[in-house]
Homo-oligomer: A and B are copies of this chain.
């Protein structure tokens, strides 16, 4: 198994054992900043190397996926989970959006197996982060007059994750492989190590979700484990049909099967105050994230290979 995943386990165990191990918020910010920049820069370099023909239709298709997923999830969770409108909408937004850490683990997983993937995947990562959040807010409040869409749009578009991903893409693309050479030691060589530390922290956070899990009981557990699979399948099928490579198909599956725990929670907390934040966070971070890095990613990779037979 990819060693970085053991760091998640270590964090999880330490957290559940109520160890005094903590990662200072400042370090957490540094690690996530490095991850986002690295993913962006790597993608930019790839795009510069092999410019993608006809990427626009693909981008539209991916955007469509981002808008669709929450619309599919909303009714399902309302009924099966007997959740109120706000909670159902928030949950739908979380699972419609994406998790950068899960993506990074997916990249690392493919890397270990020397599976290549299409250079536009980081672009899809950016495209998938936002739409579901907008849909989620609409689902929760409808066209409620009070909504300060301007402020919200600004907050989401210039949120740090988008800025760093897009910025990284642009810089990597402008600099190209040669220009990036001198930046590789920090951004590329340390990638796995940084990811390992980040997963350590993720494990600690996931452990802190355990208590709230008990509150929300069985539904979350089941949902967190079951939901990713059909969502990932949707992504895989889309990736295959828009002509991505097996690796790219797998990563698109990972993206759509992953749930946001940074952008979505922040936006929802502001825009849908009456949604219980710990509910969505526990599902996405406490259940779906571990499920994906242990079971999901290998599964989605199989699926992609299968589709490409």
Seen from chain A, the residues whose Cβ lies within 8 Å of a Cβ on chain B are 3-4, 6-7, 10, 13-14, 17-27, 29-30, 33, 108, 111-112, 154-155, 158-160, 163-164, 167, 170-171, 174-175, 179-180, 182-183, 185-187, 189-190, 192-194, 196-197
Contacts and interface: CB of A to CB of B under 8 A. Distances in A.
Contact of A3 (B19, B20, B111, B175): B175
Contacts of A17: 154, 158, 163
B182 A192 contact: yes
A187 B183 contact: no
13 contacts: A3-B171, A3-B182, A6-B174, A10-B170, A17-B154, A19-B158, A19-B159, A21-B160, A22-B160, A23-B29, A26-B26, A111-B182, A186-B192
B174 A3 contact: yes
Given A6-B171, A17-B163, A185-B190, 14 more contacts: A3-B174, A3-B183, A4-B183, A13-B167, A14-B158, A14-B163, A18-B158, A24-B29, A25-B26, A33-B197, A108-B182, A111-B182, A185-B189, A186-B196
Interface of chain A, helix or strand or loop or mixed? helix
A112 to B, nearest CB: 8
A3 B185 contact: no
A185 B183 contact: no
Contacts of A155: 20
A3 B186 contact: no
Q: Which of A155, A171, A193 is most buried by chain B, counting CB atoms within 10 A of its CB?
A: A193
Contacts of A27: 26, 29-30
Contacts of A112: 182
Contacts of A154: 17-18
B10 A179 contact: no
Q: Which of A154, A182, A190, A196 is most buried by chain B, counting CB atoms within 10 A of its CB?
A: A182
Contacts of A21: 158, 160, 163-164
A198 to B, nearest CB: 11
B192 A159 contact: no
Nearest to A182: B192
Nearest to A175: B3
A114 to B, nearest CB: 12
A307 to B, nearest CB: 28
B171 A10 contact: yes
A52 to B, nearest CB: 21
Contact of A33 (B23, B30, B170, B174): B23
A170 B6 CA distance: 9
A159 B196 contact: no
Q: Which of A20, A175, A180 is most buried by chain B, counting CB atoms within 10 A of its CB?
A: A20
